[in-house]
Amino acid sequence: MFAEVATMSAFPHLRSLHHVNQCHYLSPPSHIYRSITTTTTKSRRRHPEPLVVDLPWVLNTSTPATTTIPLDDPSLQSTDPPPVLKRSTPVATTSMLNDPSLKSKWSHRAWVASGGTTVLVSLAKSVTGAVDSGTWLQPILAGVVGYVLADLGSGVYHWGIDNYGDENTPVFGSQIEAFQGHHKWPWIITRRQFANNLHALARAVSFTVLPMDLIFNDPVLHGFVSVCSGCIMFSQQFHAWAHTTKSKLHPLVVALQDAGVLVSRSMHGAHHRPPYDSNYCIVSGVWNELLDTYKVFEALEMVLFFKLGVKPRSWSEPSSNWTEETDTSSLIAEL
């Protein structure tokens, strides 16, 4: 009895146990507890403390009042390996990234080399003509006009193939099909190799500029032709950069985008939001605000509809072919 009184004096919170039948005393637990409930204690030792369950209400002296459960008991440990979480790889996306059509062929490189050569020859004729005549202002102004009109031309062309025709359309069918797929997988353009992305426009530039290189020597004309054709030829690369994150772009390209010299990611991103009927220009984008504000393309669509009865695709609800899918290539690279 004296031991009980001493214990209660040392531990006042145990006074609530005084109602326990006095003839059934419990042996004191081998650990010191803060409460009569199940507790776990933090240990400074390397191995965890055992889980101690104190049962002060047990009146049967044959039953131990304290039950010790070692947390490191091997019988309580699972021998099964932890589950491995695997990401499901989109088959369609994997096949796209491995698609040979995204790779450059030697024919693509040849056309890009041909187009680039005709542009450089035209630029050289403009520079040499300006040096011989001592007149620089007119060729430079002609180049600026060529740059501005190249942006307008890219917008008109982009609007046309986005809204009219299909893969069976003569001459432009492949371009129409490619641009329709671009709306579903816009990030694919960033996976295309350089010559693969430019060869179609480079071929058109070669056939257009080569005769001018052979026939004309006017520096003003070549100032316009060289800049305009060069911007048109490289417009698809500017387009690809507009879909590329800044962290993956050269700082010079980012600076040109921020300055408005090249179409920016934010400006072109508006084109890929429903109803897909704005921001068509992809060289500098300088024409986009004017064309969209005055609804120039909408007016052209109305004219074509009333004259020919042809509705543009932007008038219809976007189908699954226009719904953008997420770029999961980063996930694939991790698997």
pLDDT digit string, tens, across residues 80-98: 555 554 444 444 455 555 7
Query: What is the gyration radius of the CA atoms in the chain, in angstroms?
Result: 38
Contact predicate 147/227, CB 8 Å:
yes
Of residues 153 and 14, more confidence is placed in: 153
Q: How far apart are CA 139 and CA 150, in angstroms?
A: 16
Tell me the mean pLDDT in the region 12-34.
45
CB atoms within 10 A of CB 77: 8
Of residues 148 and 32, more confidence is placed in: 148
Token pair listed for 166: 């299909």
Q: What is the mean pLDDT of the chain?
A: 78
Tell me the mean pLDDT in the region 170-196.
89
Confidence of residue 316 (pLDDT cuts 50, 70, 90): confident
Q: Name which of 148-157, 202-211, 228-237, 266-275 the model is least confident about.
A: 266-275
Highest average pLDDT, of 166-175, 177-186, 257-266, comes from: 257-266
Q: Give me the sign of the Cα torsion angle 25, 27, 32, 37.
A: negative
Residue 192 DSSP SS3? coil
Of residues 299 and 48, more confidence is placed in: 299
Q: How many CA atoms lie within 13 A of 65 on its CB side?
A: 15
Tell me what pLDDT residue 322 has: 52
152 has pLDDT over 80? yes
44 has pLDDT over 60? no
Q: How far apart are CA 238 and CA 147, in angstroms?
A: 13
132 has pLDDT over 60? yes
Tell me what pLDDT residue 10 has: 47
Tell me what pLDDT residue 196 has: 95
Q: How far apart are CA 212 and CA 21, in angstroms?
A: 114
Alpha carbon separation from 55 to 8, 28, 68, 256 (Å, rounded):
17, 11, 11, 76
Confidence of residue 179 (pLDDT cuts 50, 70, 90): confident
pLDDT tens-digit readout, 225-276: 999 999 999 999 999 999 999 999 999 999 999 999 999 999 999 999 888 8
Tell me what pLDDT residue 324 has: 53
| Helix or strand (DSSP H, E) at 68 | strand 66-69
**pTM, two decimal places:** 0.68
| Helix or strand (DSSP H, E) at 67 | strand 66-69
Cis-peptide into 29, omega within 30 deg: no
Q: How far apart are CA 135 and CA 127, in angstroms?
A: 10
Q: How many CA atoms lie within 13 A of 299 on its CB side?
A: 6
Tell me what pLDDT residue 274 has: 82
- Which residue type does 142 have? A
32 has pLDDT over 50? no
Residue 81 DSSP SS3? coil
pLDDT tens-digit readout, 51-62: 544 444 444 444
Alpha carbon separation from 126 to 51, 120, 140, 211 (Å, rounded):
89, 10, 9, 15
Of residues 103 and 331, more confidence is placed in: 103
Tell me what pLDDT residue 215 has: 97
Q: How far apart are CA 65 and CA 51, in angstroms?
A: 14
Q: Give the DSSP letter string of 285-329.
A: -TTHHHHHHTTHHHHHHHHHHHHH-PPPGGGSPP-TTTSPPP--H
pLDDT tens-digit readout, 324-333: 555 544 433 4
